[in-house]
DNA sequence: TACATTTATACCCAAACGAGTATAAACCAA
DNA sequence: TTGGTTTATACTCGTTTGGGTATAAATGTA
């Protein structure tokens, strides 16, 4: 499970569109798109700003061990 | 446990200095400092670049539930 | 204390992000 | 297929990151 997929699924299951999520999270629409598109060079605080809506946050350890997880 | 503390502890326990970690991770010294200082607006890919040295990565779900964890 | 090492703060600058907007593409139902 | 909604791509631009460097502060040891 990637971060992008996680966000996308959460958004869908909440019945939100990208513009709606962007507004609720207080970020730009472009950011949501980049995020769901799997762009890696995103700012951590913005990512957390979005995750917070779903009760999660990156930047809290422990993290997942990196064993070449795919997709 | 914050991301910054996690990195710092990992670095210490590995016996590395900030400049050494920066070089090993392929990022700038400034980045390592910002990271360990708890700066939030860091780029996700750079953070992962550092975490990878320790076998971890951010941006893999599931994450930690955000319940006002402190420090 | 004094000294050496490590870490923190400050400055400058090129590069990249993030926002806004517009347009094209994809999706889905009728 | 058609039409309407949602999502993806492209462009421009102000702001900020990240690197490099220099200097100050902190830490640890004798």
Contact A63, B7 (CB under 8 A): no
Chain C bases closer than 7 A to any CB of the protein: 5-11, 16-21
Quick check: bond before A17 cis, omega within 30?
no
Nearest-CB residue to A63 (from B40, B43, B57) = B57
Residue recorded with tokens 């990271």: B35
**Second-level CATH architecture of B3-54:** Orthogonal Bundle (1.10)
Residues A32-50 have pLDDT tens digits of 999 999 999 999 999 999 9
Kindly report the number of other CB atoms within 10 A of residue A43's CB atom.
15
* Nearest Cα residue to B35 out of B27, B47, B25, B24: B47
* Nearest Cα residue to A61 out of B24, B23, B47, B25: B47
Residues B8-47 have pLDDT tens digits of 999 999 999 999 999 999 999 999 999 999 999 999 999 9
């Amino acid at each position: 499970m990637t971060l992008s997929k996680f966000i996308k699924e959460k958004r869908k299951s909440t019945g939100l569109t990208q513009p709606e999520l962007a507004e609720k999270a207080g970020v730009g629409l472009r950011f949501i798109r980049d995020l769901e598109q799997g762009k890696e060079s995103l700012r951590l605080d913005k990512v957390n700003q979005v995750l917070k809506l779903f009760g999660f946050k990156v930047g809290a350890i422990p993290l997942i061990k990196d064993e070449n997880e795919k997709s």
